[in-house]
């Protein structure tokens, strides 16, 4: 039998007896402080509904560990360098592919369609992970498969998050090749499509790469706010229908928000 070396037998017991109240209060102070551009002791105590004496003891303890620091002249407390160091260590062990696997599995189970993870590579998206659905007719993108950004759900989701400078450079150099009669090949039309994606929060590949297949995608963000990947579901138009768009788009958007949060993004879900 495998030993659970990182947790005791009662690891799933989250009742009060297994929590440390003082530590919980300290984490609440640190978490709140991290959202502010500096705060006084009085402001923190008022915001958190705790006494100034309690908050001060917490701050002094955290300061000794480098988690917070005091600007003595302004009498403002800030998040300290140690907190950044710990966050950086977390980011080093965070792989978007590893983090995405359970999210892709849940997305496939919720939608009944193949769930995909893709990243930008030059002027294409490269599929790096997939959880296939169980239907005989389904989308299949082996890891390493490339697709032009303008004819891909994930690609358009990522294009929509580009700065104007990067988008203009892409449109100047990338040939908008036609694959089906639905492929968008005019820069003006593509820009209009990207405006719509930004407004609704998800992209649709509506038989633009392959006739009979439709894809719904949303961008994934890292801790810097950069769009680093995209999640999508894809399948035949008979199942990924116009009537199903709202339900599937909601599931994809929630999954993308969950993966973004796992990568440290601080964005509204």
CATH number at residue 251: 3.30.450.40
Q: 194 and 111 share a domain?
A: yes
Q: 107 and 70 share a domain?
A: no
Q: 175 and 220 share a domain?
A: yes
**236 domain-assigned:** yes
- Is the model's pLDDT at 105 over the cut of 70? yes
CA distances from 78 to 26, 47, 83, 182 (A): 14, 15, 10, 53
Contact 204/245 with Cβ under 8 angstroms? yes
Angle of CA points 263, 264, 269, to nearest 5°:
95
**111 domain-assigned:** yes
Q: 120 and 47 share a domain?
A: no
**2 domain-assigned:** no
Q: 121 and 214 share a domain?
A: yes
**pLDDT tens digit string along 191-244?**
999 999 999 999 999 999 999 999 999 999 998 899 999 999 999 998 888 888
Q: 219 and 107 share a domain?
A: yes
**pLDDT tens digit string along 28-49?**
999 899 888 899 999 999 999 9
- Is the model's pLDDT at 268 over the cut of 70? no
- Is the model's pLDDT at 18 over the cut of 50? yes
Q: 77 and 164 share a domain?
A: no
Q: 170 and 123 share a domain?
A: yes
**SS3 state of residue 158:** helix
Q: What is the mean predicted confidence (pLDDT) over 125-140?
A: 78
Domain end position, chosen among 29, 64, 91: 91
Looking at residue 267, its pLDDT comes to: 64
Q: What is the mean predicted confidence (pLDDT) over 176-193?
A: 96
Q: pTM of whole model > 0.85?
A: no
**4 domain-assigned:** no
**81 domain-assigned:** yes
**141 domain-assigned:** yes
Q: 108 and 138 share a domain?
A: yes
CA distances from 252 to 138, 173, 178, 264 (A): 17, 30, 26, 18
| Structural domains of the chain, count | 2
- Is the model's pLDDT at 109 over the cut of 50? yes
Pinpoint the alpha helices (H) of the chain: 21-33, 41-48, 52-64, 81-92, 96-111, 153-159, 164-173, 187-200, 245-262
- Is the model's pLDDT at 99 over the cut of 80? yes
Mean pLDDT score across all residues of the chain: 88
Domain end position, chosen among 72, 91, 110: 91
Q: 117 and 195 share a domain?
A: yes
Residue-number span of the structural domain to which 171 is assigned: 94-262
Contact 18/10 with Cβ under 8 angstroms? yes
**SS3 state of residue 109:** helix
Looking at residue 140, its pLDDT comes to: 65
Q: 44 and 106 share a domain?
A: no
**170 domain-assigned:** yes
- Is the model's pLDDT at 142 over the cut of 80? no
Domain at 82, CATH number: 1.10.10.10
Q: How crowded is residue 5: how many other Cβ atoms within 10 Å of its Cβ?
A: 5
Domain end position, chosen among 31, 57, 91: 91
Q: 28 and 101 share a domain?
A: no
**267 domain-assigned:** no
**pLDDT tens digit string along 56-95?**
999 999 999 999 999 999 999 999 988 888 876 765 555 8
């Amino acid at each position: 039998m495998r030993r659970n070396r990182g947790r005791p037998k009662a690891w799933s017991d989250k009742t009060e007896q297994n929590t440390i109240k003082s530590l919980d209060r300290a984490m609440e102070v640190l978490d709140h402080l991290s959202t502010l551009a500096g705060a006084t002791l009085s402001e923190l105590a008022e915001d958190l509904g705790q006494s100034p004496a309690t908050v001060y003891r917490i701050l002094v303890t955290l300061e000794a560990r480098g988690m917070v620091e005091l600007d003595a002249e302004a009498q403002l407390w800030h998040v300290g360098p140690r907190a950044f160091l710990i966050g950086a260590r977390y980011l080093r062990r965070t792989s978007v592919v590893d983090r995405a696997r359970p999210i892709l599995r849940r997305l496939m189970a919720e939608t009944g369609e193949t769930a995909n993870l893709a990243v930008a590579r030059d002027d294409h998206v490269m599929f790096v992970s997939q959880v296939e659905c169980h239907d005989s007719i389904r989308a299949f993108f082996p890891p390493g498969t490339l697709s032009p950004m303008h004819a891909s759900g994930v690609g358009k989701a990522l294009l929509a998050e580009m700065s104007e400078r990067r988008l203009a450079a892409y449109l100047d150099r990338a040939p908008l090749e036609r694959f089906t009669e639905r492929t968008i090949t005019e820069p003006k039309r593509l820009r209009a499509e990207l405006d719509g994606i930004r407004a609704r929060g998800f992209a649709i590949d509506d038989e633009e790469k392959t006739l009979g297949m439709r894809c719904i995608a949303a961008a994934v963000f890292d801790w810097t706010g950069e769009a680093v990947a995209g999640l999508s579901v894809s399948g035949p138009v008979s199942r990924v229908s116009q009537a199903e768009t709202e339900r599937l788009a909601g599931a994809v958007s929630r999954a993308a928000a969950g993966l973004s949060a796992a990568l440290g993004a601080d964005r509204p879900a």
